[in-house]
Chain A
């Protein structure tokens, strides 16, 4: 490794001047053509060779942060500004302060590139939200919310039905303009901490709720719905970004205008602004050339190429003087829009805002929480999710406890040892035996023992931004005392445990009863096409379960789902499955039952076939009805075969992450999350609290351990 890098270094210094600049990006289609053309111009002009690499977006960020520190990364790369602070912290990017000419760009796009007083990179293009008007329905752009409401009133027509406005209102990204427009601040100026419980926040929520209540805005809007409503002329206005232009039908006449100003506060509705920047690697060996390339990409010819064929909204002011841009209603419109936009904060704090805001927003839109109370709800969720770092625990007592425990265990084994006999005598072939088992033992050690011990150890640490600190049992006590929230809240361990147990119980009961019933039907030799049914019924089991989960998720959709389609065809009210606990839970159960019954059916079928037919005949002669035969003969004789499957089924269901995560996603408000999905969220969606999640996992382990011990005791005498 070291030898290789030395070699690489030697080669690098050797051919310094000749080495091409490396440029990484994640563009596709027209955007990719634009960057290729721009780079070609650059090489033509300066003679500097540039090597382009297109990286899949999903892996881009992690690739950059792992490659650059090892000198294997690019000299220049293109990335959205939201990650700047992280890149800065990992020392991946070089500042452009002093070199960058602020006056050449839209002001907000340069603001977005600032981290702790330094500027990084050169703004290329921007993304933000604007108001799309169907000009046939709304010829004049509303400038204030009062105007807007009038236009909405005028264009909304429940008989069609036609809505004045459509946008994904449940998404905080789309709600943010209202928050800022009603004068609320997302972060406290002095502490930098997120704030939710503010009058502006309440007003913004009340305003949007009003739009929905007055029928201006459809419920539970998704991106796909926005598109179809606008294209069918059933939504007069849409809030969306530049990407939406690609989704609008040719036939629709539309205009893009900035979002209106709130009459009450005089502030515009200010959307978030995302800026794509050309960033220079902190480890580049040719900083001058790299800076020059990055700057070149953000200005002049490169900008023109970005407009065409790239169809991006440029950050450079001069671009808007180009005739081509002035004639382009879409791109030119975004200059004004961008002027009002607020750069999405690149702070770590921003990452903590999404989940609480989503909770508040959904709660208000679904009518479960009053707009005034929603801020507090979000605040509580925020506090729960962003636990204060527990105090460091002294390590010594734990070390002593560990040693004592290990010694105690060793002593206990020693007292239970076999008769005192030379090991070699008792196991004369020990060496050969050990040789045979060692591959498996190594496998088990590496794949099971190490992760297990690692996971348990992790539960005693607190993780924050890459740093682990030993906190003793604090994670466990916080979980078990549900610190920061009530026991009856979805975030509480006990609440989730209760949900998990109910989930397991309901599922396994359904799996066994449906599986058994079908097995009994299928066993009947009079049934025609038995073989066909058997295969068909096993199909749900054979399909990968996340595919099934996604299919069911689609079928449960409020507006387009097959199930609601069926209900409305039967003249029943469509059900909004994921807004209430009971229906969301039911949706999960239905999906998992669909997945789970075939296993129980197969097990039951096998067990049923092992019951001799003459027992039923004897029982029949003894006077037993069919039902009595089932109860007194079938069930007791199935029990030994079925019990292990039931125990296994309980463990599987208890940890059935996929279904919960993919079908209800924990909605509403995390209430349908089970312990594993909750643990996952703590680890990967809530500020990377790995230690806390590991403590969850340890608790899950103990719950299941207790369960298997209990069932072993229950079945023990049976087995004996």
Chain B
């Protein structure tokens, strides 16, 4: 890893515009926030004896929308807080545009963070909430007003400026929390599950607004979520974490189609990918109660991965088992089977009757087999079309 730190002689307190090649063009907005890249190098963080982040290296390109996903407690929030400067790292560096942020307190880092709880100042009006960060940076009042008005317009908060947070709905609060970051025009936006408190309809709406905001501002954003749809729709790239370790980072579809290990493979996609233990036997993979014709230059013991979407309940197929549950999405749906090799989920459509307790057969729809090492830590083969 090259040393990227530059002296902190950069005048941090002043407005500084960084334009780079490849920055998405501004759309409509008359001001353009600065766009910065972020690099995490060997970040380690533990609480007491409990390691929470275990050496994360990650590059975030300028203007990128990076979504972090992972099971609860895997250290996503901790990582965001490390980036914001709210937590001290045990080891590693946070670099922004090559400048080492690690020793800087949050207020000197020029990042904006939207907290999961919003953390709006309850004693200030919406307007004061939005203006707070600018006042502290001694921005002239006229400019504060202009920027607040601009952000309020963008977030459709203009008619709420004089209200206190407790007089706002959840979605409005969420937008205020976002506006508070937007007016400041930080180099980096951090979002910690900002939509998790909202109902589905509002979540869908806010998701759209977030995407629009990213397009409009073109700034670098890091976004933590539990919601796969959010991850898939918003991200330019997704980073998957498990137990404090970065598992894989890449564009959403790449992660879906080419998971680096069984964790990523099962974590993304719903229902989860089916995994079976199998062994190479000539041109086939043989496992408990099944034998499957498959490609892939892999020998010996493997883990065989099949997405439910790639399996279909049919009159005949290599897998057979008893239907334990059915998830109907109208005409078609998913059937959950108990097979000799373990549980299996597969799609079905109206052409075959599927009922709980019924014995059915399942067949793959073409070349769809993912192969992983027997311990699941490494992907060995992905279907040709998805490579």
- Give A contacts to B, CB under 8 Å: 612, 614-615, 617-625, 628, 632-633, 636-637
Known: A622-B132, A628-B136. A617 touches B119 (CB 8 A): yes
Known: A620-B86, A623-B136, A623-B137. A612 touches B107 (CB 8 A): no
> Looking across the interface, which residue of chain A has its beta carbon closest to that of B128?
A632
> Looking across the interface, which residue of chain A has its beta carbon closest to that of B190?
A621
Chain B residues 130 to 166 lying within 8 A of chain A, measured CB to CB, are 132-133, 136-137
- On whether the beta carbons of A632 and B132 are closer than 8 Å, the reply is yes
A-chain residues with CB within 8 Å of residue B120 when the two chains form the complex:
618
**Please, what's the 1-or-0 string for B172-191, where 1 marks a CB less than 8 Å from any CB in chain A?**
00000000100010000000
A717 vs chain B, min Cβ distance (A): 12
User: Does B121 lie at the interface of the complex (its beta carbon under 8 Å from any beta carbon of A)?
Assistant: yes
A627 vs chain B, min Cβ distance (A): 11
- Give B contacts to A, CB under 8 Å: 84-86, 105-107, 109, 111-113, 115, 117, 119-123, 132-133, 136-137, 180, 184
> Looking across the interface, which residue of chain B has its beta carbon closest to that of A640?
B123
B5 vs chain A, min Cβ distance (A): 22
B-chain residues with CB within 8 Å of residue A617 when the two chains form the complex:
84, 86, 106, 113, 115, 119
A-chain residues with CB within 8 Å of residue B137 when the two chains form the complex:
623
B-chain residues with CB within 8 Å of residue A614 when the two chains form the complex:
115, 117, 119
- On whether the beta carbons of A618 and B123 are closer than 8 Å, the reply is no
Known: A617-B86, A621-B106. A636 touches B123 (CB 8 A): yes
**CA A370 – CA B250 in complex, angstroms?**
96
- On whether the beta carbons of B133 and A622 are closer than 8 Å, the reply is yes
B-chain residues with CB within 8 Å of residue A619 when the two chains form the complex:
121, 132
- On whether the beta carbons of B113 and A621 are closer than 8 Å, the reply is yes
* Cβ 8 A contact of B112, one of A612, A621, A637: A621
* Cβ 8 A contact of A621, one of B107, B121, B122, B123: B107
Known: A621-B111, A625-B107. A615 touches B86 (CB 8 A): no
**CA A615 – CA B105 in complex, angstroms?**
16
- On whether the beta carbons of A637 and B84 are closer than 8 Å, the reply is no
A-chain residues with CB within 8 Å of residue B109 when the two chains form the complex:
621
**CA A614 – CA B180 in complex, angstroms?**
15
* Cβ 8 A contact of B122, one of A623, A625, A632, A637: A637
Known: A617-B86, A618-B113. A623 touches B133 (CB 8 A): yes
20 inter-chain pairs at a CB distance below 8 angstroms, sorted by A residue, are A612-B117, A612-B119, A615-B119, A615-B121, A615-B122, A617-B113, A617-B119, A618-B120, A620-B107, A621-B107, A622-B133, A622-B180, A623-B107, A623-B136, A623-B184, A624-B136, A625-B107, A632-B121, A633-B121, A636-B123
Instruction: Given A615-B121, A621-B111, output 15 extra A-B contacts at Cβ < 8 Å.
Output: A612-B119, A617-B106, A618-B120, A619-B121, A621-B86, A621-B106, A621-B113, A622-B180, A622-B184, A623-B133, A623-B137, A623-B184, A625-B107, A628-B136, A637-B122
- For B109, B136, B137, the residue with the greatest tally of chain A CB atoms inside 10 Å of its CB is B136
* Cβ 8 A contact of A620, one of B105, B117, B122, B184: B105
- On whether the beta carbons of A618 and B115 are closer than 8 Å, the reply is yes
B-chain residues with CB within 8 Å of residue A622 when the two chains form the complex:
107, 132-133, 136, 180, 184
- For B119, B180, B184, the residue with the greatest tally of chain A CB atoms inside 10 Å of its CB is B119
A-chain residues with CB within 8 Å of residue B115 when the two chains form the complex:
614, 617-618
**CA A216 – CA B198 in complex, angstroms?**
88
**CA A576 – CA B109 in complex, angstroms?**
57
> Looking across the interface, which residue of chain A has its beta carbon closest to that of B133?
A622
> Looking across the interface, which residue of chain B has its beta carbon closest to that of A628?
B136
A-chain residues with CB within 8 Å of residue B132 when the two chains form the complex:
619, 622, 624, 632
B79 vs chain A, min Cβ distance (A): 15
**CA A636 – CA B86 in complex, angstroms?**
23
- For B85, B86, B107, B137, the residue with the greatest tally of chain A CB atoms inside 10 Å of its CB is B107
**CA A617 – CA B113 in complex, angstroms?**
9
**CA A624 – CA B86 in complex, angstroms?**
13
B-chain residues with CB within 8 Å of residue A633 when the two chains form the complex:
121
**CA A690 – CA B121 in complex, angstroms?**
55
